[in-house]
Amino acid sequence: MLSGSQQRKKLIMMEIPSVFGPRDRSITLYEGINHHPDPDSIFRSKTVAQLGCGNGWISIALTEKWCPSKVYGLDINPRAIKIAWINLYLNALDDDGLPIYDREGKTLLDRVEFHESDLLFYCRDNKIELDSIVGCIPQILKPSPEAMSKIITENLSKEFGNIFRTSGPLRGFVEDQFGLGLIARAVEEGMAVIKPTGTMIFNVGGRPGQGVCECLFLRRGFRITKLRQTKIMQAANTDISALVEFEKNSPHRFEFFMGSVGDQPISARTALAYMKSGGHVSHALSVYSCQLRQPNQVNKLIEILKNGFHELSRSLDLSFADDSSAHEKITFLVYLASFLNANKPNPCQPPAE
């Protein structure tokens, strides 16, 4: 027999200062999820992980809306996990403390769990296979002078996106320098625990430049769809002088916007000058939905590269203009990698003399 009321209209959320609750970044992520063309296909009756769940509001809200079979809300901050569990109970029980059942006769407590976890460690450790991953994790854009001078002396590329294509072993390193290291790690961990046709949704702050951000997914063999883009105001006291220094010695330009509506990107140098004259600048925040183009092939390739070809995997670039060239080239790469892995001679004969 069902007890409690069938549906609660609004989420009830407890917040404490040391735990993230709804803010620009996570609200944009949730809006992005709502803009997905077919959210039922990625959430309804599915197994989902939410990375960087904070006080748990997104995990709870998406469960209320799409009834996944299980959502694992994960955060590295143990306090966040405690608050998230409290919020789960606040929303799972009615004012009399009775469980609220959904249309399938289940409660939020049946569908959601929160765990302390560094990215997807919990799922990996418990051999949980996921259908979808949703991520709202930090980006810290703090280029170190030492790392930057290395990039600069390597004299890399005009378009910064090209750094990923030309810098070989520097790539992982470059993603870190652009504050994208944690997202890159989450994507790679995700590939190991998600079903081949699974979907990952991440929000990414656009200061490194759209090309750099998108390359993070594309070079790992994903097809991406931008679900939503908004602008986030840059706090007036944020020091962007390190970015200006980097631009002085490189062709790369970071991406800011004048005010909250400008649509022409400006460099860090221009943004700094504008801020000094009393102006406000913003940067883009985009929500991407990503699916592997050829999941079985790409995963096979990654597995082989992990096995003694680590440097190669850091310089892997599987971004192709269209599906047919991706298909042809990825298939060939897997074939080639399998030969190398088996210590067989290179199957590609050199041209005749």
Ligand X SMILES: C[S@@+](CC[C@H](N)C(=O)[O-])C[C@H]1O[C@@H](n2cnc3c(N)ncnc32)[C@H](O)[C@@H]1O
Binding window for ligand X (CB under 6 A); candidates: 48-56, 81-89, 90-98, 232-240: 48-56
Give CA–CA dist 33/227, Å, rounded: 7
Residues 80-119: x/- map of binding to ligand X (CB under 6 A)? Answer: x-------------------------------------xx
The DSSP string of 109-132 is: HHHEEEEE-STTHHHHHTTPPEEE
Residue type, 93: L
Which one of residues 6, 124, 126, 138 is an interface residue with ligand X (CB under 6 A)? 138
Question: Is the CB of 22 or the CB of 99 nearer to ligand X?
Answer: 22
The residues facing 290 across adjacent strands are 200, 224
Question: Is the CB of 116 or the CB of 245 nearer to ligand X?
Answer: 116
136 sits near ligand X (criterion: CB under 6 A):
yes
Question: Is the CB of 77 or the CB of 299 nearer to ligand X?
Answer: 77
Give CA–CA dist 195/190, Å, rounded: 9
Dihedral angle at the C-alpha atoms of 43, 47, 49, 54, nearest 10 degrees? Answer: 70
Give CA–CA dist 257/285, Å, rounded: 12
Q: Nearest distance from residue 19's CB to ligand X, in Å?
A: 7
Q: What is the size of the binding site for ligand X (CB under 6 A)?
A: 23
Which one of residues 8, 14, 21, 157 is an interface residue with ligand X (CB under 6 A)? 21
Distances from the Cα of 118 to the Cαs of 173, 186, 278, 329, in angstroms?
20, 9, 40, 34
Which one of residues 33, 42, 48, 58 is an interface residue with ligand X (CB under 6 A)? 58
Question: Is the CB of 135 or the CB of 209 nearer to ligand X?
Answer: 135
Angle between helices 181-193 and 210-218 (to 10 degrees): 20
Q: Which residues are at the interface with ligand X (CB under 6 A)?
A: 20-23, 25-26, 51-54, 57-58, 74-77, 80, 118-119, 136-138, 182
